[in-house]
Structure 1
Amino acid sequence: MDSDPIAYPIGGAQAPRRPRVAIVGSGISGLAAAHTLTGLADLTLFEAGDYFGGHTHTVDVTLPDASGRPTTFGVDTGFLVLNQRTYPNLQALFRQLDVAIVPSDMSFSVQAPGAGRHGGPLEWSGSDLSSVFAQRANLGNPRFWRMLADIVRFNHLATRLAKRGDDLGDGSPLLQPLGEFLAQHRFSDAFRDWYLLPMLGCIWSCPTDQMLRFPVATLVRFCHNHGLIQVTNRPQWYTVAGGARQYVQKIVARIPDARLNRPVRQVLRDGAGVRIVSDGAVERFDAVVLACHSDQALALLGEGARADERAVLGAIRYQPNRAVLHTDASVMPTERKAWAAWNYARGVGAHAAAAQVCLHYWINRLQPLPTPQPVIVSLNPSTGIDPAQVIGDYGYDHPVFDLAAIRAQAQVPALQGQQQTFFAGAWMGYGFHEDGLKAGLQAARALIDAHGLLPQAGEAAARRAALPGVFA
Structure 2
Amino acid sequence: MAPTRVAIVGAGASGMSAAYALSRHPEKFSVTVFDEQPVPGGMATSLPIDPARFGASYINDGVQGCSPAFANSLRILRELGFAAEPVQMQISFGLRDDFWSNVFPSDLTARFAKDIARFGTALKVIKALEVPFAFIPVHVMLRIFRFSTDFGDKMVYPLVALFFGTGNQTPYISSAILERVFKDPSMKLFEYDPKSLLASIPTMYAFPNLHDLYAAWQRSVASSRSVTFLLDHKVTRIVSRARSRITLEYTVPQPDDAARTLDHAAFDELIFACDADTARKLLGTHASFIERNVLGSVKYLHDLTITHADADYMRRHYETAFDPSLAAPDAPADALDFASERFRPLYYTYQYPSDRAKLEMSFDLTHYQPQFRGAPPTGPSNSVPSSPHATDPPTHAASAQQAEPPFSKHVFQTIFLDRDGSGSLWTADGIRQEKRVAEKWWKQQSHRWQHYAKVVPWMMWPNGRHHTQFAGAWTVLNMHELAVTSGFAAAYRLGAEYPFRGDEECERLFRLYLGLSHGVRMRKEDRKGFFA
State whether TM-score is above 0.5.
yes
Q: For residues 227-246 of structure 1, what are the alpha-carbon distances to aligned partners after superposition, in whole Å with 9 as ceiling and x for unaligned?
A: 424234875211123x2334
Deviation at 1:363, TM superposition (A): 0.9
Kindly provide the amino acid, as one letter, of the partner of residue 364 in structure 2. W
Q: Does 1:124 align with 2:100?
A: yes
Q: Does 1:228 align with 2:206?
A: no
For residue 259 of structure 1, give the secondary structure of its aligned residue in structure 2. strand
| Two-structure CA RMSD over aligned residues (Å) | 2.8
Kindly provide the amino acid, as one letter, of the partner of residue 32 in structure 2. T
Out of 123, 135, 160, the residue aligned to residue 124 of structure 2 is 160
For residue 54 of structure 1, give the secondary structure of its aligned residue in structure 2. coil
Deviation at 1:382, TM superposition (A): 2.3
Out of 419, 422, 427, the residue aligned to residue 382 of structure 1 is 427
| Aligned equivalents of 1:274, 1:44: Cα separation in 2 | 13
Query: What corresponds to 1:278 in structure 2?
Result: 250
Checking the alignment, whether the CA contact within 8 Å between 1:362 and 1:376 is kept in structure 2 is yes
Query: What corresponds to 2:16 in structure 1?
Result: 31
Query: What corresponds to 2:58 in structure 1?
Result: 74
Query: What corresponds to 2:329 in structure 1?
Result: none
Checking the alignment, whether the CA contact within 8 Å between 1:148 and 1:191 is kept in structure 2 is no
Checking the alignment, whether the CA contact within 8 Å between 1:277 and 1:283 is kept in structure 2 is yes
| Aligned equivalents of 2:88, 2:349: Cα separation in 1 | 15
Query: What corresponds to 1:446 in structure 2?
Result: 493
Query: What corresponds to 1:103 in structure 2?
Result: 86
Deviation at 1:216, TM superposition (A): 1.3
Query: What corresponds to 1:304 in structure 2?
Result: 286
Consecutive unaligned residues of structure 2, counting only runs of 5 or more, are 194-198, 252-261, 323-342, 374-403, 417-425, 511-521, 528-532
> In structure 2, do the counterparts of structure 1 residues 204 and 409 end up closer, same or farther at CA, with 3 Å as the change threshold?
same
Consecutive unaligned residues of structure 1, counting only runs of 5 or more, are 1-15, 455-459
Query: What corresponds to 1:426 in structure 2?
Result: 473
Query: What corresponds to 2:461 in structure 1?
Result: 414
Kindly provide the amino acid, as one letter, of the partner of residue 251 in structure 1. W
Checking the alignment, whether the CA contact within 8 Å between 2:12 and 2:273 is kept in structure 1 is yes
TM-score if structure 1 supplies the norm length?
A: 0.80
For residue 33 of structure 1, give the secondary structure of its aligned residue in structure 2. helix
TM-score if structure 2 supplies the norm length?
A: 0.72
Q: For residues 358-400 of structure 1, what are the alpha-carbon distances to aligned partners after superposition, in whole Å with 9 as ceiling and x for unaligned?
A: 1110112211215512111111162421111211111222222
Checking the alignment, whether the CA contact within 8 Å between 1:99 and 1:246 is kept in structure 2 is no
Q: For residues 105-131 of structure 1, what are the alpha-carbon distances to aligned partners after superposition, in whole Å with 9 as ceiling and x for unaligned?
A: 32221235xxx56xxxx43332x22xx
> In structure 2, do the counterparts of structure 1 residues 461 and 288 end up closer, same or farther at CA, with 3 Å as the change threshold?
closer
| Aligned equivalents of 2:117, 2:307: Cα separation in 1 | 35
Checking the alignment, whether the CA contact within 8 Å between 2:47 and 2:59 is kept in structure 1 is yes
Deviation at 1:290, TM superposition (A): 0.3
Deviation at 1:261, TM superposition (A): 2.2
> In structure 2, do the counterparts of structure 1 residues 186 and 159 end up closer, same or farther at CA, with 3 Å as the change threshold?
closer
Checking the alignment, whether the CA contact within 8 Å between 1:316 and 1:400 is kept in structure 2 is yes
Out of 230, 241, 245, the residue aligned to residue 259 of structure 1 is 230
Checking the alignment, whether the CA contact within 8 Å between 1:109 and 1:339 is kept in structure 2 is no
Query: What corresponds to 2:206 in structure 1?
Result: 239
> In structure 2, do the counterparts of structure 1 residues 465 and 366 end up closer, same or farther at CA, with 3 Å as the change threshold?
closer
> In structure 2, do the counterparts of structure 1 residues 220 and 71 end up closer, same or farther at CA, with 3 Å as the change threshold?
closer
Checking the alignment, whether the CA contact within 8 Å between 1:22 and 1:288 is kept in structure 2 is yes
Deviation at 1:291, TM superposition (A): 0.3
Deviation at 1:207, TM superposition (A): 4.3
Q: Does 1:89 align with 2:77?
A: no
For residue 340 of structure 1, give the secondary structure of its aligned residue in structure 2. coil
Checking the alignment, whether the CA contact within 8 Å between 2:100 and 2:109 is kept in structure 1 is no
For residue 176 of structure 1, give the secondary structure of its aligned residue in structure 2. coil
| Aligned equivalents of 1:385, 1:192: Cα separation in 2 | 29
Task: Show the 5 A alignment for 1:126-145.
Answer: 126=102, 128-129=103-104, 132-133=105-106, 138=107, 145=110
Deviation at 1:149, TM superposition (A): 4.0
Kindly provide the amino acid, as one letter, of the partner of residue 199 in structure 1. L
Q: Give the length in aligned residue pairs.
A: 415
Task: Show the 5 A alignment for 1:456-471.
Answer: 468=507, 469=510
Query: What corresponds to 1:3 in structure 2?
Result: none
For residue 437 of structure 2, give the secondary structure of its aligned residue in structure 1. strand
Kindly provide the amino acid, as one letter, of the partner of residue 83 in structure 1. S
Deviation at 1:435, TM superposition (A): 0.8
Checking the alignment, whether the CA contact within 8 Å between 1:227 and 1:234 is kept in structure 2 is no
| Identity fraction in percent | 22
Deviation at 1:320, TM superposition (A): 1.8
Deviation at 1:259, TM superposition (A): 2.4
> In structure 2, do the counterparts of structure 1 residues 188 and 290 end up closer, same or farther at CA, with 3 Å as the change threshold?
same
| Aligned equivalents of 1:258, 1:75: Cα separation in 2 | 25
For residue 265 of structure 1, give the secondary structure of its aligned residue in structure 2. strand
Q: Does 1:360 align with 2:343?
A: no
| Aligned equivalents of 1:234, 1:105: Cα separation in 2 | 6
Shifted more, 27-36 versus 247-256: the winner is: 247-256
